[in-house]
Amino acid sequence: MSEHALPTPVNRKLLTPGVLFLLMLTAIMFCIAIVRFGFSGLAGVTNLDQQHPWGLWIAFDVASGVALAAGGFTVAALAHIFHREHYHAIARPALLTAMLGYTFVGIGLMFDLGRYYNIWHPIILWQGDSVLFEVGMCVVCYINVLYLEFAPIFCEGVASEEHSWPGPFERIRHLLRPICAAAYPYLNRIQFLLVIAGVVLSCLHQSSLGNLMVIAPSKMHDLWDTQISSLLFLLSAFMVGFAMVIFESMYASWSLKLKPEMEILSPMAKFIVFFTGLYLAFKIGDVLVRESYGLLFEGSAQSVCFIIEMVFGLIVPFVMLLSARVRNTPRLLFIAALLIVLGVVFNRINVFLVAYQPPYATKTYFPTIWEIAVTVGLVSLLMLIYRVIVTYLPVISHPDKARKA
């Protein structure tokens, strides 16, 4: 009964001006990496100090990165646990975003760690009381789940006779064919286990990221110093997962000159309404119960950031998405989804940086141009790899490129 197009490699030129621009940003990042890892360490490249141990790379690359990759498990739950076939077509791009997103969380973390070569230590040195231990172990397990979930897509791409890969890669593809053919049925058989594991693992670490700063209540600004922080992070992860899928699908459609898949994205927007409403209720309720609303008008940088986060990151897109007209208009839906995404990024930056008030600080932290350039370079490289993968592997199902079953 399904008339959905099957996923297929996208037939678009790879070396566009946009791609070349991303390559340049990536190259800059590599140059800074050489300085950071080969010459100056963290001191020469970051503005971290004894009062501010965590900076942009933790607040954005790690914390926001994990949040924005939440689309993988939320759409997988919709499509494969609740069997909403309607969303099958968007599940693969969402999975790809998650797989690449978490990979780059790991890479970003390597930049930030002082002893990055010990990043594997939590696997053998367990300290179960630590929130960060749980986050780390869940992320390690989940990255494995993501790669195993993506493996069948890779096998399909390898097996296909239809599109040839450039030069030496086509030869590698020939070598891989028998391996992928053998592995494919087994990979498919365990997918249902992986999808459920992915949801459980994601719920665990998305919420625990919210629990990280709870260990420093004396250093947290009252507007964000709540013990329900993990619940807020979990709800906002559900919310931003769908928003990010909409944002990235529409952006990819625009960039690849395809029509946006509104018949999938519009109904999906309703889930954002549900979770945004729930998240707003808990967030506002929390401020009321803890009576921290007085701080809203203290005129500090923190109070301004909180108001921006609430108004532009939550209330405005929530009201927008309540309207069916917004949900069905590509440009308006894109703006609403983008506001949610930016709102969650801003929330993670607020929780980890803005709200963090070390007791003896003589100056505030702001990232160096090198920190920003590394972050921008990592995002660029992620977009590049995404583009390469959808060009050669069957990820995007698009009516324009319909290959009838």
Partner 1 sequence: MSTVSVSRRDFLRKAGLAGLATPAVALLPETAVASEGAELSEDWMGVLVDIQKCIGCRRCEAACNEANGFEVPTDEELTATSVFAEHRRPGPHHHTTINRFPPRDGGVEDGAIFAKANCLHCNKPACVSACLVGAFRKLDDGPVVYDAWKCMGCRYCMVACPFQIPTYEYDYLLTPQVRKCTMCANEGNPNKGGVPACVQTCPKEVMTYGKRSELLTEAHEKIARHPDLYRDHVYGEHEVGGTSWLYLAPKDHSFEELGFLSLDSSPPPMRTERIQHGIFKYFIPPLAWYGLLGAVMWVARPGADDKWQEPAKDGS
**Interaction site with partner 1 (CB under 8 A):** 38-44, 46, 48-51, 53-54, 77, 80-83, 85, 112-116, 118-119, 121-122, 125-134, 136, 192, 195-197, 199-200, 203-204, 207-208, 211-219, 227-228, 230-231, 234, 356, 358-360
Residue type, 21: F
C-beta closer to partner 1: residue 92 or 205:
205
CA dihedral angle for residue 227, residue 230, residue 232, residue 233, rounded to 10 degrees: 150
Q: Closer CB to partner 1, residue 69 or residue 138?
A: 138
Q: Contact, 119 vs 113, CB < 8 A?
A: yes
Q: Considering the complex, what minimum distance in angstroms separates the CB of residue 83 from partner 1?
A: 5
For residue 64, give the nearest of 375, 327, 288, 303 by alpha carbon: 375
Angle at 278 between CA 275 and CA 284, to 5 degrees: 135
Give the residue with the Cβ less far from partner 1, 205 or 398.
Answer: 205
Q: Which is nearer to partner 1, 118 or 323 (CB)?
A: 118
Nearest to 127 by CA among 141, 115, 137, 119: 137
Q: Which is nearer to partner 1, 214 or 335 (CB)?
A: 214
Cβ 93 to partner 1 shortest distance, Å: 22
- Closest contact distance (angstroms) between CB of 114 and partner 1 is 2
Q: Does residue 364 come out as left (phi exceeding 0), alpha (psi in the -120 to 50 range) or beta?
A: beta
Cα–Cα dist 94/199, whole Å: 14
Which residue, 191 or 328, is less far from partner 1 as judged by CB? 191
SS3 label, residue 54: coil
Q: Which residues of 290-328 are buried (b: 16+ CB within 10 A; e: fewer)?
A: eebeebeeeeeebbebbeebbeebbbbbbebbeeeebbe
Closest to partner 1 by CB, 146 vs 262, is: 146
Rounded to a whole number of angstroms, the minimum distance from the CB of residue 242 to partner 1 is 14
Phi, psi at 109, each rounded to 5°: -65, -40
Nearest approach, Cβ of residue 78 and partner 1 (Å) = 11
With tokens 């309703």, the residue in question is 270
Helices (H), 160-297: 167-189, 191-211, 229-255, 262-289
Shortest distance, CB of residue 136 to partner 1, whole angstroms? 6
Q: At CA 342, angle to CA 259 and CA 109, rounded to 5?
A: 105
Q: What is the smallest separation between the CB atom of 327 and partner 1, expressed in angstroms?
A: 21
Q: Closer CB to partner 1, residue 135 or residue 314?
A: 135
Q: Please, are residues 150 and 98 in contact by the beta-carbon 8 Å criterion?
A: no
Q: Output the smallest distance, CB 143 to partner 1, in A.
A: 16
Q: How far is the CB of 163 from partner 1 (least distance, A)?
A: 30
For 168, the token pair is 């030496």
Between CA 221 and CA 350 the distance in angstroms is 10
User: Please, which residue, 30 or 126, has the CB nearer to partner 1?
Assistant: 126
- C-alpha to C-alpha distance for 69 and 53, rounded to whole angstroms: 25
Least Å distance, CB 229 to partner 1, is 9
Comparing CB distances to partner 1, the nearer of 126 and 169 is 126
Token pair in block for residue 266:
């519009």
Task: Give the residue among 404, 405, 387, 345 at the shortest CA–CA distance from 93.
Answer: 387
